[in-house]
Amino acid sequence: MESIFKREKAQRKGRKERVSFLRMCFFSSLLFFAVYFIGAGNSLANGTRTDKTAIALPYIPSGEKKESFHEFICYKNLSYPSSFPNHYYDAYLIPEGKKKLGTIIYVHGGGFVSGTKDVVWESPYFLKWLRAGFQIISVDYALAPDYPYPTSLHQLSYCVQKILDEKVRLGIDAKKLIFMGDSAGASLAGQFILTQVNKSYGKKLAVPSFVSERGGKISAFISLSGLLDCTRFNKTGLLENDESFLAWGRAYFKENDFAKGKKARDTNLADFLTKDFPPTFLTDGTVGSFRDQAIDFKEKCQAVGVPVCTFFPEGDFKHDYELHMDTAEAEESLEKQVHFATFLLS
């Protein structure tokens, strides 16, 4: 009998311990989720904030202090709504009290099949923009061949909508937006702008016009070695590049002879240009790049009344020379771009 009472007492004690344990788990979970959601609200959704942390760049100017982003506020991997991968952006922000002239929405290149928003970390080009008073949003998007045209364009649209939703918390003046792209990124940035200023073009590509309706304004377009007409993707004159560009174009458009297809023709920005397109800055190299496209686009801008500035250095300058910042011409190009943007937004 005594052993039965001992067993019952032990069982009651075990039940009490289990109940206590479950209660502890329950309240711990409540505390966790409360902290999580409060923290999420204070840290721009689900991004990682890097504040005043020195981020060393690979490029170290001779005889100079190593460059870093320590004087700025950086949010990494903020998400925007999309069912496709790579739906993230980074925000490089200027602290309160310092000069802010505008915000650059940057779209990376990579032939639609490679590349990443992290290029901003890797080039002193962007650090100079920040120091000139321009905040930077760097956008990622899904890549071909798994996610062909126009997936990345639609993702850019979703990302811009999210950025406008977050403009107050990001500290962005939505009426001072500059869209910038290098190489294939210029194609995407230019197409997106067209969807906002040419409604028939937006309908054609199923991208709604929303920037102005949400209180925003696209103040400028900057093209760095921009692919402004995909029907000429593989027409640079440099065999090595043209072979790669041909393969990438086929992957992106899912057509072997994509240059003759409707999808590639819809990326010829000059064909859909109107006077409502924002002031534009064009620059490009001379080797394996798209300078001919930039010159044609400049002429179309002039024909329809879009203000346009250009910088086309003489000599042998490769595709994307602008981002490497290892020549006097790259420095001069950046200086002219910053002057162009400052004049527009001051």
pLDDT tens digits, one per residue of 60-113: 223 333 357 788 999 999 999 999 999 999 999 999 999 999 999 999 999 999
Q: What is the pLDDT of residue 59?
A: 27
The SS3 assignment for 104 reads strand
Work out the angle at residue 241's Cα, subtended by the Cα atoms of residues 238 and 244, and round it to the nearest 5 degrees: 145
Q: What is the pLDDT of residue 3?
A: 42
d(CA 181, CA 221): 8
77 token code pair: 């991997």
What is the four-CA torsion angle of 162, 339, 342, 317, rounded to 10 degrees?
A: 0
Task: Give CA 301 to chain center in angstroms.
Answer: 24
What is the four-CA torsion angle of 329, 332, 334, 340, rounded to 10 degrees?
A: -140
What residue ranges of the chain have pLDDT lower than 50? 1-43, 45-46, 49-66
226 CB-contact burial (10 Å; exposed 0-12 / middle 13-18 / buried 19+): buried
Strand spans (E) along 198-293: 218-224, 280-283
Residue 132 CB neighbour total at 10 angstroms: 17
- β-bridge pairing 88-93 and 134-139: antiparallel
pLDDT tens digits, one per residue of 165-186: 999 999 999 999 999 999 999 9
Region of 209 on the Ramachandran plot (φ > 0 left; ψ -120 to 50 alpha; else beta):
beta
Q: With beta carbons less than 8 A apart as the criterion, state whether 137 and 174 touch.
A: no
Q: What is the pLDDT of residue 70?
A: 80
Q: Among the CATH numbers 3.40.50.1820, 3.40.1110.10, 3.90.550.10, 3.40.50.2000, which is that of 46-345?
A: 3.40.50.1820
Strand spans (E) along 173-217: 177-182
171 token code pair: 């500290």
Region of 312 on the Ramachandran plot (φ > 0 left; ψ -120 to 50 alpha; else beta):
beta
d(CA 106, CA 221): 10
36 CB-contact burial (10 Å; exposed 0-12 / middle 13-18 / buried 19+): exposed
pTM for this entry: 0.83
Q: What is the pLDDT of residue 69?
A: 78
